[in-house]
A and B are shown apart, each in its own frame.
Chain A
Amino acid sequence: MAEVQTKPKLKEHRINRAWCKGCGICVAFCPKQVLELDDQDKAVAVRPEDCIACKLCELRCPDLAIEIITE
């Protein structure tokens, strides 16, 4: 029997504001435009409901400042 592959579902974007340097890489390359920089140039998830938990933001962050927690 083939196992039913359920896609990982987002629980939370864990963003380390002390490590984020506001480079904008995660914002620019998110396929769903989930992220933005706030007025302090820190990444924030403004549209978490659109996140597909692909983790590309986490993999491309040069500062290890963003983590996608799935259910």
Chain B
Amino acid sequence: MAIKDYIRERFFPHMWCPGCGHGIVLNSLLRAVEELGMSKNEIVMVSGIGCSSRISGYLDFHTLHTIHGRALAFATGVKLSRPELNLIVPMGDGDALAIGGNHFIHAARRNIDLTAIVMNNRIYGMTGGQFSPLSGCGVMATTAPFATVDQSFDVAELAKAAGATFVARSTTYHVQQLTKLLREAILHEGFSVVEVLTQCPTYFGRRNKQGGAVEMMKWFKDNTTPVGSKAKQENPALIERGIFVQKEMPEYCKAYDQVIERAQKGK
């Protein structure tokens, strides 16, 4: 199927600002799904609220646009009732790890077979540029006019510690890697997390004098390195890209099926 067959063309051009990285995540995801040869009917996309969450409106899968921070909770319900479907849950950094932080760690702990995509632009884009738990120290935001003093989460470390069985990271600059990681995350049986460093030129870029979309993507190129590279040893400030965790553990829906079986036997 051509990638255009997976979108709702009537809603294009989309609402994202010029150069918004969320569009590149959409682009890469379309290619991952196309390369896997999936049909639109076997995918359910569940999103919350945020610029990132608007992605579900543009894709012609089964889609649920739910409430801020709760996408994983809705997705858990869908997956438990229809475990044969593939659940993809795109979230913003605020959505996934501020208001939705608890849902995030518990979905990871259960190892339920969902694909979580954290579209990390380090800012609340939709509501006008407030800082998020992923902004990190020294970031300018509408709610931090003299810069943030908050440390940020490392999404990959957090997901790993909480029990996710597939954890990866890439950026909107590294689109070929991103497509490959999304493909693997979808195929993985268990809770998978793909963090994507993505640009919000309108709020993050402008306030932090990072330039426009092009300069922000160059920053991703210059400040990231493949997992386990020599460059990382020489410069610990570099952010690693690639797969951090890929392991097999009992999946939640499968485990729950056994409970049902036991209950039906009455023992």
Contact = CB atoms under 8 A, between A and B. Distances in A.
Task: Summarize B's interface: helix, strand, loop or mixed.
Answer: helix
Interface in A1-44: 18-19, 21-25, 28-29
Nearest to A62: B23
Contacts of B30: 64
Given A56-B175, A62-B19, A25 B12 contact: no
A23 B27 contact: no
B18 A59 contact: no
Nearest to B21: A62
B24 A29 contact: no
Interface string A59-71: 1111111000000
B213 A23 contact: yes
Interface residues of B, number: 30
Contact of B20 (A60, A62, A64, A65): A62
B214 interface: yes
Interface of B: 3-4, 7, 12-14, 16-24, 26-28, 30-31, 172-173, 175-176, 179, 212-214, 217-218
Interface of A: 18-19, 21-25, 28-29, 56, 59-65
